[in-house]
Structure 1
Amino acid sequence: MTEPTTPERTRPRTHADPAPREGSPAREGRPGDAHARTDAPTDAGRPMAPPSEQAIPLVNRAAESEGVLARPARRLETERLADLFAAVSMDGDLRLSVERHPDYFALYDLEHDPEEQHVRAFEKDGEVEGVAAFLARDALLGGERVRTAYMSDLRFSDALRGGKVLGKVFAPEMRLAREATGAELFYTVVFDGNGAAQKALVKRDPRWPDKPLYRPLRRFDITSVLLAHPPLPRLRRPYRVTRARAEDMDEVLAFLQRDQRGRPFGYVLDEGRFERRLRDWPRFGAESFYLARDGQGRLAGVTATWDAFDVKRYRVRAYRGAMKRIRRAWDLAAPLLGGTKLPAPGELLRYAYLTHLCVPSEDPAVLAALLDAAYADLRGTGLCFLMLYLEREDPLRAALRGYLTSAMPATFYVVCAPDSRFAEVDLGAGR
């Protein structure tokens, strides 16, 4: 229940959940557009929770002794939720806040219908001081189609920290999410450097024996490729890269779906989800994709770039430690190399996701060709870096040689109740 929801190589390799969140992305097919529904009641012009969800008692009083009440978040509260989300910063050498104004729910709406969104608000003294989300979808797991939910965007203000709130509410919150979404299994991402989240979420505590069980499935790095120096010269390019066109999308979808079938928590893209992304994601479409082909014209790899500025933005709060030195050196070199200076504290850090990354052969030369092309197109556009997700021992990491990169280690966890059928099931290695 942490951030990032954003792109898909953590689940693993064809990323695009926007949501890479701690917790980054990262849209199930639907018969029609939920935004156009006229038969559903609305809350400030947006769909409310469906009747099936309203029938479930969704108020959680497990932490009432701490003065805390957990309940469904309301769309009318979008400004307060976005303010709270931005106020709880992501700390590290680069301290960032994540902004979701003007519509906190817009990021979720890109990928999930209202009935797939179980968003929770935590009240204390009548004020919303915490938020969390459970985002449901069908996933492919060992050849089985399983209803899952991504636990994301957990934020508590100082008013809820340092107490017993999470220990008391966590198990009942997951039960409510299971009832509301039909999810059998949950998953999330936690930054390895977030000690507070590791202690509160992952570590077992005898005081809370029914606390959900966290099982590590993948350890990976959220890797930022600085759009700094001129594009790398390559002596040999065994793959030809082109920008995609609308007529390429059927081939791309089939390529991605074949790959997803072999991955833990693989996406079901071919029942409308992929088309929904092309239609609904802002600043995204067929032309966002890069296609790598071998000498015979066969598709060897794909990726796409996505600037999520309209629904999710990072604002720099402070540079510390190594990032302070990196910024100083880079800002001196940027004018000479034609790069973009890193933003000052208080300014937005512009970036793009490298999403829908799919290289079934795991040949780093394929990723190198794709990365070179995307890098050349984005450098000089005002963006500071490209973000992608690579496992620690991933052979594709060799494609990053020669680029300036920084990495934030994180772990992909499978989450379930201690007595769940998934508590001891081998979920397989996959890719």
Structure 2
Amino acid sequence: MSHRIRRAEPRDNAGILALLENTPQQGAVSLNFERRPDYFLGARVTCEEPDVWVAERRDDPSRIDAVYNVGRRRVWVNGEVRWVRYAHDLRIASDCGNGMLLPRLFRQLRARLEPGEWMQTVILRDNHASLGTVASGRAGLPHYYPCGTIETSLIYTRAQRRRPPAGVTVRRTGPSDLPAMAALLRREGAHKQFFPHWEPEHLDGDGYYHGLDAGSFLGVWEGGRLRGLLGFWDQKRIKQTRVLGYRGGLQWLRHFYNLHSRVRGGFRLPKPGGYLSYLTLHAALVEDNEPHWLRWLLDHAVQAFHAQYDALVCGFFASDPLSRVPARYRRQVLHSDHFLVSYDGDPRDALNHDRIPYVDVARL
């Protein structure tokens, strides 16, 4: 089977979507991470400068057998803003997984990287296929250097009556708050490793900020001082998580599980073919990284979005003191491994390890 590897074009959208929908994540619940209706719209949200490549069959150019994105985005590294690639969305058709297509993809990648350039990537702990292939150290592949564990929480929404103390206010932001938001994002973001570079003046635009505006954040104030931010992002128009099926007894227990979730809060498991209902939280940033500010923000979010979503999705590196805050809520937890990927030595040696790493789950 012969393939041509080339940069992706808009005409490839249907072929990429078909490939994504035929390479599900297996487990007790079989899931598909989908990007309908436009893969490239989601790619521009993940990376400011997407760099998408595909492998098409020479005898059938409409058939896409592999895709990956190694786009660039600006993040804070050692207190400075720099462009860093993020390697993601690697999918290879099941009938091509044992051939030479993967090494060919990585040879093409190596030719495009600058000397010494490194990338970030995140792999779900349950994704044994990826951990056993791309992160295995096979000859011809780049080296994957472990650089932290990410804990993603699916926090169940519910009605509650907890209120912040006197003098503390939590509310949605608005246009008049943009200067204070920009100052906080820059001041506190610079202290974190890999925190995204934000330009709040570009909110309400497209591309990297598609679907966001000045009101897409919660803020916590003490008196007149903004102490923290928590963004919320409904991404169902660009990314979806579809349930394909259930294994074992779960397919019979689904109705009882949903009844329990309705009473106590939690994910309602849809019929096979249905989608999970969640809201993605991002840009979680609080002054001096003090957990109590995040707690008031999460308390507000858990109640405010209860009628619309089953769960709120947020993520933190396990080494971040803020990661302890989601443990106060009813939740499910997923673990992922974060890697720095390089052909030219260990990039971790150049990092300031006193800075707390950050992950933006809305852009994974």
Q: TM-score, normalised by structure 2?
A: 0.86
**Aligned residue for 1:288?**
216
- Tell me the distance in 1 between the aligned counterparts of 2:346 and 2:280: 35
Q: More displaced, 147-156 or 86-95?
A: 86-95
1:246 maps onto 2:181 in alignment = no
Q: How does 1:244-323 map to 2 (within 5 A)?
A: 244-269=173-198, 273-280=199-206, 281-294=209-222, 296-320=223-247
Q: Which amino acid aligns with 2:66?
A: G
SS for the counterpart of 1:275 is helix
Over the aligned positions, Cα root-mean-square deviation in angstroms equals 2.8
Q: Equivalent of 2:141, from 211, 225, 234?
A: 211
Q: Equivalent of 1:350, from 277, 285, 293?
A: 277
Q: Between the two proteins, what is the percent identity of the paired residues? A: 24
Q: Structure 1 213/425 Cα, relative in aligned 2: closer, same or farther at 3 Å?
A: farther
Structure 2, unpaired ranges of 5+: 357-364
1:174-210 Cα distance to aligned partner (Å, 9 max, x none)? 332x26xx993211111122111112111223xx1x4
**Aligned residue for 1:333?**
260
1:184 maps onto 2:112 in alignment = no
**Aligned residue for 2:159?**
230
**Aligned residue for 1:165?**
101
Q: Which amino acid aligns with 1:152?
A: H
- Tell me the distance in 1 between the aligned counterparts of 2:74 and 2:164: 44
Q: Contact (CA 8 Å) 1:293, 1:301: kept in 2 or not? A: yes
- Tell me the distance in 1 between the aligned counterparts of 2:351 and 2:253: 42
Q: Which amino acid aligns with 2:69?
A: A
Deviation at residue 338 of structure 1 after TM alignment: 7.8
Q: Which amino acid aligns with 1:75?
A: P
Q: Equivalent of 1:197, from 127, 130, 134?
A: 130
Q: Equivalent of 2:18, from 77, 83, 87?
A: 83
**Aligned residue for 2:360?**
none
Q: Which amino acid aligns with 2:144?
A: Y
**Aligned residue for 2:339?**
413
Q: More displaced, 282-291 or 235-244?
A: 235-244
Q: How does 1:84-99 map to 2 (within 5 A)?
A: 84-99=19-34
Q: Contact (CA 8 Å) 1:245, 1:287: kept in 2 or not? A: yes
1:221 maps onto 2:164 in alignment = no
Structure 1, unpaired ranges of 5+: 1-65
Deviation at residue 356 of structure 1 after TM alignment: 1.0
Q: How does 1:366-381 map to 2 (within 5 A)?
A: 366-381=293-308
- Tell me the distance in 2 between the aligned counterparts of 1:389 and 1:336: 26
Q: Structure 1 78/305 Cα, relative in aligned 2: closer, same or farther at 3 Å?
A: same
- Tell me the distance in 1 between the aligned counterparts of 2:39 and 2:327: 37
Q: Structure 1 183/224 Cα, relative in aligned 2: closer, same or farther at 3 Å?
A: farther
- Tell me the distance in 1 between the aligned counterparts of 2:156 and 2:294: 16
Q: Structure 1 340/157 Cα, relative in aligned 2: closer, same or farther at 3 Å?
A: closer
Deviation at residue 288 of structure 1 after TM alignment: 1.8
Deviation at residue 248 of structure 1 after TM alignment: 0.2
SS for the counterpart of 2:5 is strand
Q: How does 1:13-162 map to 2 (within 5 A)?
A: 67-110=2-45, 116-124=49-57, 125-126=59-60, 127-162=63-98
Q: More displaced, 363-372 or 395-404?
A: 395-404
Deviation at residue 393 of structure 1 after TM alignment: 4.0
Q: How many residues end up aligned between the 2 structures?
A: 351
Q: Contact (CA 8 Å) 1:110, 1:277: kept in 2 or not? A: no
1:20-43 Cα distance to aligned partner (Å, 9 max, x none)? xxxxxxxxxxxxxxxxxxxxxxxx
1:390 maps onto 2:320 in alignment = no
Deviation at residue 395 of structure 1 after TM alignment: 2.5
Q: Contact (CA 8 Å) 2:152, 2:335: kept in 1 or not? A: yes
- Tell me the distance in 1 between the aligned counterparts of 2:169 and 2:320: 23
- Tell me the distance in 2 between the aligned counterparts of 1:172 and 1:132: 11
Deviation at residue 427 of structure 1 after TM alignment: 4.7
Q: Contact (CA 8 Å) 2:156, 2:265: kept in 1 or not? A: no
Deviation at residue 161 of structure 1 after TM alignment: 1.1
Q: Which amino acid aligns with 1:293?
A: W
- Tell me the distance in 1 between the aligned counterparts of 2:42 and 2:295: 30
Deviation at residue 357 of structure 1 after TM alignment: 0.7
Q: Which amino acid aligns with 2:98?
A: G
Q: Contact (CA 8 Å) 2:189, 2:285: kept in 1 or not? A: no
**Aligned residue for 2:292?**
365
Deviation at residue 154 of structure 1 after TM alignment: 0.7
Q: TM-score, normalised by structure 1?
A: 0.73
